[in-house]
Structure 1
Amino acid sequence: MDVWCDALGSWLETTIGELSVSASTTKPTTSSASYGGDGEWLQTRPGEKCCIRVPAVDTGGAYSVVEIVSTPGDSTPMHIHSNEDEYFIILEGTALIALGDKTFDAAAGATIFLPRNIPHAWGNASNSSLRFLGICTPGGVEDALRVIARGGVSDLVAFSAKFGVEIVGPLLIQPEGHSPQ
């Protein structure tokens, strides 16, 4: 786990820019697990749950890290972030990614950069679960996930706009029997 955390910290520093990332060199004397953030799994839509691993408040707003688990057929609509860049690290499964006018698969081990102001979406077109880390820089948009999970959103388009996210197209993966609108 320490090697993975060190590697992620190094990747964040070189990919995202100079961040204040510190890691403890003290090793625990007993088995333990550390889950950043509140560690609570949030159900954000029927096919998606997420856990805020590193909230922006813990990084001075520099970045946030969210773990997402997606069931087969789940996807986001095409959307644009105006405030943050996103980085995905695919941990398990395969993500279907739409970025601008390109669509591609990203299998476990892949890292994807989704720059702000470029339309994008992701989905799980496979028959197995998809698990990945979503890293946003700067952080803050993860606060929307808490509100969505509490059921406090009646108008997703208007709500998203409050966080600098514009929905610009249909779901990447359409439920069976539905066509894009």
Structure 2
Amino acid sequence: MTETTTIANGALTDPWLQTRPGELCAIRVDSAETNGTYSVVEIVASPGDSTPIHVHAREDEHFVILEGTARIAYGEKTFDAPTGTSISLMRGISHAWGNPSPDSKLRMLVTCTPGGAEEALRLIAKGGDIDLMAIAKKSGVEILGPPLLGIPPAQ
């Protein structure tokens, strides 16, 4: 029996993408490298950066906090996840994350299963005249509320 193994190259498939003020993303494993099974994105968030409360219809997310502390709202709970924390956020449950530190960056790896969420990041990073709500809807993401930490950082 012959088995085929795909080895993700580990190199950046895109340059660092600025997806909003205060957030940079690097696609570490593109879903095309895994036949759509998963994708991995490295995120670096500035102090005060946070996502809006949202829910994914298509993918689960697994976070590994590499540096700093993430504040995570998941369902009815909100908690801080320091460096070394690993947490799975299941599709269909509202969540948001942010960097509550006043002076330190947050760096984490996010694995999306199945893959494909990285395509929305590429579209958002293009900037210009984009419709964020349309991109979210097309990606199976519903925005439910404001950024977790209030007003996003200025550019």
Q: What letter matches 1:172 in structure 2?
A: L
Distance 1:70 1:171, change over 3 A: same
Deviations 1:20-62 (A, max 9, x none): 86559xxxxxxxxx64341410011010000000000000000
Equivalenced residue count is 148
Mapped partners of 1:125, 1:100: distance in 2: 19
The residue number in structure 1 matching 2:70 is 95
1:49 aligns with 2:39: no
Q: Secondary structure at the match of 1:89?
A: strand
1:70 aligns with 2:45: yes
Query: Quick check: 2:124–2:130 contact (8 Å CA) kept in 1?
Result: no
Greater strand share, structure number: 2
The residue number in structure 1 matching 2:35 is 60
Query: Quick check: 1:89–1:112 contact (8 Å CA) kept in 2?
Result: yes
Mapped partners of 2:121, 2:108: distance in 1: 16
The residue number in structure 1 matching 2:111 is 135
For the pair shown, the structure with the greater C-alpha radius of gyration is: 1
Deviations 1:61-96 (A, max 9, x none): 000000000000000000000000000000000000
Q: Secondary structure at the match of 2:150?
A: coil
Mapped partners of 1:100, 1:77: distance in 2: 13
Pairing 1:141-160 to 2, within 5 Å after superposition: 141-151=117-127, 154-160=130-136
Q: Normalising to structure 2: TM-score of the pair?
A: 0.89
Mapped partners of 2:111, 2:20: distance in 1: 19
Q: Where does the alignment leave 5 or more consecutive residues of structure 1 unmatched?
A: 1-19, 25-33, 177-181
2:15 paired residue among 23, 26, 40: 40
Mapped partners of 1:175, 1:140: distance in 2: 28
Greater helix share, structure number: 1
Distance 1:155 1:90, change over 3 A: same
Query: Quick check: 1:42–1:51 contact (8 Å CA) kept in 2?
Result: yes
Q: Normalising to structure 1: TM-score of the pair?
A: 0.77
Q: What letter matches 1:95 in structure 2?
A: A
Q: What letter matches 2:50 in structure 1?
A: S
1:168 aligns with 2:144: yes
Q: Where does the alignment leave 5 or more consecutive residues of structure 2 unmatched?
A: none
The residue number in structure 1 matching 2:79 is 104
Q: Secondary structure at the match of 1:143?
A: helix
Aligned-residue identity in percent: 58
